[in-house]
Amino acid sequence: MAFPERFSNLPEYAFPRLRGLLDHHQPGGDQIVMTIGEPRHPMPDFVADVLNASIGGFARYPANNGNDALLASISGWLKRRYRVDVAADRLMALNGTREGLFNAAIALSPETKNGKKPVILTPNPFYQVYAIGALVAGAEPHFSPATAATGQLPDYRALPADLLDRVTVAYVCSPANPQGAVASAEYWADLLDLAEKHDFRIFADECYAEIYRDTPPSGVLEVAARVGADPERVLSFHSLSKRSNLPGLRSGFVAGGVQSIRAIRQLRAYAGAPLPEPLQAVASAVWNDEAHVEASRALYRRKYAVADEVFSGLNAFAPPEAGFFLWLPVADGEAAALKLWRETGVRVLPGAYLSRDVNGENPGAGYIRVALVAPEDETRRGLTLLRDCLYA
């Protein structure tokens, strides 16, 4: 029996690969998991009440694009957060933003561009769904280094013009996973100019936008509105997983131009999985509330302070601007993760598992990713063990 070749060269996904590296070794202490970006702060305390009041909605098929109340809540949040007006016909609720980041490539990347195979740009390292979206859309994924030399964000302007002329989509994650770098308003404006010049869309993965130290990160929608960019040029993806500590809710949204959203809605109508109505009710209530977001952000700020304290004086440590990951340099990410596990019981992710080899180099190979999602005391204990094991 034949299998499709388009996925034949995929590396094993990061977390099964990590289990293969670590699980046949005994941990060197009580296990502290700092691998997966699963928030462990309290979810909003009103979720259960809203869900209970809406429970009858499980007896009905849900609204495909998001019901009126949810879309109004999302639109209101965008207005408060980014000072942009985004009507309901420019929005679609998502069953988790991974669905949207994947399906948008299928819905919006054409089969050819200028008579050639299209290219979809992704930073390297990156959230792995970007590359899969490119492959399924029939495009060539191009991995652009996002390293210290590029400010931890991809420098797409440095790419050759003939390649850019084949680009249909450019993914950008800001705040970046795993590095925590933030795209400035100037970065977005420059990328919008490049996209206009070479006629491609920007897919802005902004799922970590509400986790930051001091200054709220600029958003692509507000910059696009400020510079007068074509609304069809930009799609912005957001999630309640990180903002509201609700990864199991599987709720997010995509915002874009009317035509782009219409195309994504059409694909969802045939092949998508809309969010159940009770969960849409919860999501609507959560987008309307900021108190729980501010409380959660305060906890992350305390953990930023813990990380700054634990790694004080360590030249290799670069404090993240936003998000909840540390991107720590080591000689070899796999060797460091294995040593840390065997000697301390702290579990982290090798950076190479989030990157691809390009011309024999993997920009994540000399890093580990450390998630600051555990309670403060556990985070301090884990980071201290990590420092003493790998940097003493």
- Average pLDDT of span 239-244: 96
For the chain, the domains span 5-42+292-390, 47-288
Distance CA 211, CA 298 (A): 9
Confidence at 11, pLDDT banded by 50, 70, 90: confident
Query: Would you give the DSSP letter of residue 321?
Result: S
- Average pLDDT of span 226-246: 97
CA distances to 67, 116, 161, 351, 387 from 370, rounded to whole Å, are: 37, 40, 36, 10, 12
DSSP three-state, residue 18? helix
Closest alpha carbon to 230 in 265, 269, 199, 267: 199
Annotation: CATH topology of 5-42+292-390: Aspartate Aminotransferase, domain 1 (3.90.1150)
Confidence at 7, pLDDT banded by 50, 70, 90: confident
Over the stretch 69-91, which tens digit does the pLDDT of each residue have? 999 999 999 999 999 999 999 99
Q: Around 330, how many Cα atoms within 13 Å sit in the side-chain half-sphere? A: 29
Instruction: Check whether 20 has a pLDDT greater than 80.
Output: yes
CA distances to 68, 90, 178, 276 from 62, rounded to whole Å, are: 12, 19, 34, 5
CATH number of 47-288, picked from 3.30.70.270, 3.20.20.140, 3.40.640.10, 3.30.70.2740: 3.40.640.10
Higher pLDDT, 313 or 174: 174
